[in-house]
């Protein structure tokens, strides 16, 4: 994936690696003064790392947010993680997604609540375990793991959003900061998400079966 240099960085030679902008700085740069659209948000970030956008679309699903937030932010996350999976180097969103509006209150809540925690987490992030983040195969594996989690976020599954969102957010941080340890922990959270979803689905199935048995005396 392409990584942007900080705005004040000098031009680099071809192939020279640079540390991507801190996600907390990227989040602080978001305009919280008015409603915006997903397209405007993406454009304001420029050619940022895929990890930054994955983080921004995933984290609000961890926070207490108005109903419908997951459907607004879940679809672009599905499209984004699919493009990571297939190895696309630049983000594309259909116009119907770009035109979706995000309220000023949601943006302000996201920036206010997320930035301090991000700054603390970023102090312990550093490039390591590069084989988990620095190759095409590693990035495609990230897409393979996060794509189904993004689908889960898009679907209105009771109690099913928080853990997948946390897993995607942690993987996104690892991708943006080239920290393979963060990605590995995100994979563990992904497995926990699957276990939780299986438990929820099993409980719902048992409840439905018990309901019809009680209703019809089956």
pLDDT in tens, the chain (218 residues): 544 444 444 444 434 444 445 777 777 777 777 778 888 877 766 555 577 788 888 887 777 666 666 667 778 889 889 998 998 877 788 888 888 888 788 778 778 877 888 888 888 888 899 899 888 899 899 999 999 999 888 876 666 678 888 999 999 888 888 899 999 999 999 999 888 878 777 777 787 777 777 777 66
Return the pLDDT at 141: 93
Paired tokens of 203: 């409980």
Polymer length of the chain: 218
CA distance 208 to 218: 12
Q: By C-alpha distance, which of 74, 54, 24 is closest to 139?
A: 54
3-class SS of residue 21: coil
Beta strands in 23-120 (DSSP E): 36-37, 101-102
Return the pLDDT at 187: 95
Report whether 28 contacts 115 (CB < 8 A).
yes
117-125: long-range contacts at Cβ-Cβ below 8 A with a sequence spacing of 24 or more?
118/23, 118/24, 118/27, 118/173, 119/24, 121/173, 122/22, 122/23, 122/24, 122/173, 122/177, 125/173, 125/174, 125/177, 125/179, 125/182
Return the pLDDT at 20: 44
- The structure tokens 């948000």 sit at 41
Return the pLDDT at 185: 94
Paired tokens of 138: 């590693």
CA distance 76 to 41: 12
Cα–chain center distance at 192:
17
CA distance 169 to 17: 23
Question: Which class for 212: exposed (0-12), middle (13-18), buried (19 or more C-beta within 10 A)?
Answer: exposed
pTM of the model: 0.74
């Amino acid at each position: 994936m392409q990584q942007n240099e900080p705005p004040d960085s000098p031009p680099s030679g071809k192939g020279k690696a640079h540390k991507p902008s801190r996600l907390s700085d990227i989040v602080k740069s978001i305009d919280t003064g008015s409603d915006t659209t997903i397209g405007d948000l993406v454009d304001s970030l420029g050619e940022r790392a895929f990890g930054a956008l994955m983080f921004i679309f995933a984290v609000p699903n961890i926070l207490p947010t108005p109903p419908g937030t997951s459907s607004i932010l879940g679809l672009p996350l599905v499209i984004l993680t699919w493009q990571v999976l297939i190895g696309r180097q630049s983000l594309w969103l259909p116009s119907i997604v770009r035109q979706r509006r995000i309220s000023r209150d949601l943006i302000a809540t996201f920036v206010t609540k997320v930035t301090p925690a991000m700054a603390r987490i970023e102090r312990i992030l550093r490039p390591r375990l590069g084989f988990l983040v620095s190759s095409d195969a590693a990035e495609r594996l990230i897409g393979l793991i996060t794509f189904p989690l993004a689908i889960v976020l898009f679907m209105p599954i009771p109690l099913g959003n928080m853990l997948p969102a946390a897993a995607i957010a942690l993987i996104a941080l690892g991708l943006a900061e080239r920290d393979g340890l963060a990605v590995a922990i995100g994979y563990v959270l992904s497995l926990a998400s699957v276990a939780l979803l299986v438990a929820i689905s099993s409980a719902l199935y048992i409840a439905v079966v018990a309901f019809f048995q009680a209703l019809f005396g089956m």
